[in-house]
Amino acid sequence: MSDVIGFQAVRSVLRENSERARRLYVQRGRRDGRMSELIGLARAAGLRHQTMDAQWFRRRVGEAVHQGVLLECHEAALADFETMLAQWDSFGPQPLLLLLDGITDPRNYGACLRSASGAGVDVVIVPKHKTAPLSAVALKTAQGGSEDLLIVEVTNLARAMNALRDLQVWIVGTDGDAPTEFRQMQAEGPLAIVMGGEEKGLRRLTREQCDQLVHIPMQGSVSSLNVSVATAVVLYEAQRQRLES
C-alpha cells in the first residue's frame, strides 16, 4: 500500500485513478470547501472516509505536510519498456520523453514529474535502482502531475536509450561541461531529455548514449540549478522550439 497526501495530489488520484484508492482519511476539525470536495469525490468512487486526529496523521506520515488529508492507495504500478512500446504509436509523430538518471530525493523526483506533466511529456523513464521511490512525499510534490504520465521503470537505462535510438528518438543529455548551450539543442521530432542525479549528474554510460549534450549557462555566483528546476527549464525550451517550428 502507499499513501497520497495533500489536497492537490489526493484530488488528482480521485479524479484520474480512483481505482487505485482504498480509503480516505481526513483530520478532525479540518472541514472546509476543499475537504468537502474530496469527500464527495471519494463517495462518488464508492470509497469510505474516516475522521482521524492530528496524532494519527503524525504517526502515519511523520513531519510531511499532509494538509489534513491522506488517501490510502494500492501501490502505483510502474510500466515496463514493453508496455511503452505497445503504446508508442499513441504518442504521435513527436513523442517527448524525460529520462531521470539517478534522482534520489523524493521531492526532486516529484517536482520533475510535475514539470514533465506541465510540459506535455508523454513518458518518464527511470532506472530501477538508485531512484527515489514514488512515495507520499514525491506524489505530494508532483501535485497530481504523476497521474497523467506513463512512468516506465527499466533495469538498464543505457540499454533503454539504445532501444529508443532504434525508434528514431533523438537523445539530449544535460551536462554542465557540455560545449553546447541548451537553447541550441535539436528538439524536433521524437525527443528524449536526460537529466542526471543531484550530486554526480549523468553517469558515464548514460552520457555516452546521448546524441547531444547541452548545458544551462549560469550568470551569477550559483554554479548550477537544482535538478528539478533544470528539468523544467530544458523541457519548456524544447516545447518552445517544437511549437515554433
Contact call for residues 76 and 126 (beta carbons, < 8 A): no
Contact call for residues 90 and 118 (beta carbons, < 8 A): no
Least Cα distance to 178 among 199, 196, 160 occurs for 196
Mean pLDDT by runs of 10 across the 245 residues of the chain is 87 87 91 90 92 94 91 82 96 97 92 94 94 82 79 96 97 94 96 92 94 92 86 97 89
Note the pLDDT of residue 220: 76
Note the pLDDT of residue 74: 76
Residue with cell 516506465: 152
CATH topology match: 2-73 vs 81-244: no
3-state secondary structure of 190: coil
Domain boundaries 2-73, CATH class = alpha beta
Full-model pTM:
0.78
Residue with cell 528518438: 169
Beta-sheet strand order (sheet of 21-27): 2-5, 69-73, 21-27, 49-52
Q: Does the 81-244 domain belong in CATH 1.10.10.10?
A: no
Least Cα distance to 149 among 160, 134, 163 occurs for 134
CA–CA dist 154, 81 (Å, integer): 7
Q: 185-212 in b/e burial notation, b at 16+ Cβ within 10 A?
A: bebeebbbbbbbbeeebbbeebbebbee
Strand pairing report for 2-5 and 69-73: antiparallel
Domain regions of the chain by residue span: 2-73, 81-244
